[in-house]
């Protein structure tokens, strides 16, 4: 499978900024979500006719890349850093997708087997891997792969009109990662973004709300949020469909902060 490295943005300068404490992800839940979503992808791709797999080879390449990324990095020498230098929110802010891999069902199955061989020992809080952005905890890197895998699984659903099941744990992780990224990109407490049942964050500078119903509220479902936060659907399209509800004069300003993952 031919590989071309992604082009990435530099990490944003966080000097002088107040950083939120990164969300903690339990290794066992991360591992289970990864394994479940990989299996859903593998099953869905196997059911596609060979000619359809060929038509979707680039998208399947994106999926294969996320599945085999963990074993590839675990096989490299450990980073020299004594502690993690990059967290999940840093990764979101720095990522631009320009991969050009291709794959089919056999490639995805082979990647899944490689991942399954290392996942039990690899998804840990005390293991650092040499990510190109800087040293990263293996559990955090795996969270980023779950985000990518969930997004591309939804892409496959839309491309084939055949639903690819999204593991609840993987969907929850992805929803929270993208919500946290929005809060980091547009810090403040004037607007509350709700993505039930998985996440609610406050963002946007302005008058802080302390009690009762917030005057500025944005609410949507998890799948619409994934598409909105990554530019797969526009604010207007989500609003017009009724899947995004925004109230308050500041809520619409949120549209200018999206997407959070390029």
The residues facing 194 across adjacent strands are 200, 219
pLDDT digits (tens, 9 = 90+) for 211-239: 666 778 999 999 999 999 999 999 999 99
Q: Tally Cβ neighbours within 10 Å of residue 9.
A: 11
Q: Can you give the pTM of this predicted structure?
A: 0.90
Query: What does the pLDDT read at residue 13?
Result: 42
Residue 71: what are its φ and ψ, rounded to 5°? -60, -35
| Cβ atoms of residues 33 and 169 within 8 Å | yes
What pLDDT score was predicted for residue 146?
98
As a whole number of angstroms, the distance between CA 165 and CA 162 comes to 9
How much of the chain exceeds pLDDT 90, in percent? 77
Local confidence band at 6 (pLDDT 50, 70, 90 cut-offs): very low
Give pLDDT tens digits for 70-115.
999 999 999 999 899 999 999 999 987 666 689 999 999 999 999 9
CA 152 to chain centre: 10
């Amino acid at each position: 499978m031919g590989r071309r490295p992604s082009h990435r943005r530099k990490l944003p300068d966080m000097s002088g900024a107040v950083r939120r404490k990164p969300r903690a992800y339990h290794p066992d839940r991360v591992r289970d979500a990864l394994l479940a979503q990989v299996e859903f992808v593998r099953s869905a791709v196997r059911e596609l006719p060979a000619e359809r797999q060929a038509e979707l080879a680039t998208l399947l390449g994106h999926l294969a890349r996320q599945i085999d990324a963990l074993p590839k990095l675990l096989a490299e020498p450990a980073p020299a850093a004594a502690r993690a230098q990059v967290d999940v929110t840093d990764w979101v802010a720095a990522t631009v997708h320009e991969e050009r891999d291709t794959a089919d069902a056999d490639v995805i199955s082979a990647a899944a087997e490689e991942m399954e061989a290392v996942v039990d020992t690899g998804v840990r809080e005390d293991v650092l891997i040499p990510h190109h952005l800087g040293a990263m905890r293996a559990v955090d890197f795996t969270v980023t792969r779950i985000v990518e895998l969930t997004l591309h699984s939804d892409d496959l659903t839309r491309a084939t009109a055949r639903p690819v099941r999204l593991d609840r744990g993987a969907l929850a992780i992805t929803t929270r990662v993208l919500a946290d990224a929005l809060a980091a990109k547009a810090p403040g407490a004037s607007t509350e973004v709700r993505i039930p049942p998985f996440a609610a964050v406050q963002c946007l500078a302005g008058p802080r709300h302390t009690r009762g119903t917030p005057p500025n509220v944005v609410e949507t479902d998890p799948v619409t949020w994934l598409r909105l936060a990554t530019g797969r659907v526009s604010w207007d399209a989500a609003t017009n469909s009724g899947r995004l509800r925004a109230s308050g004069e500041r809520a619409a300003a949120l549209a200018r902060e999206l997407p959070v993952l390029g």
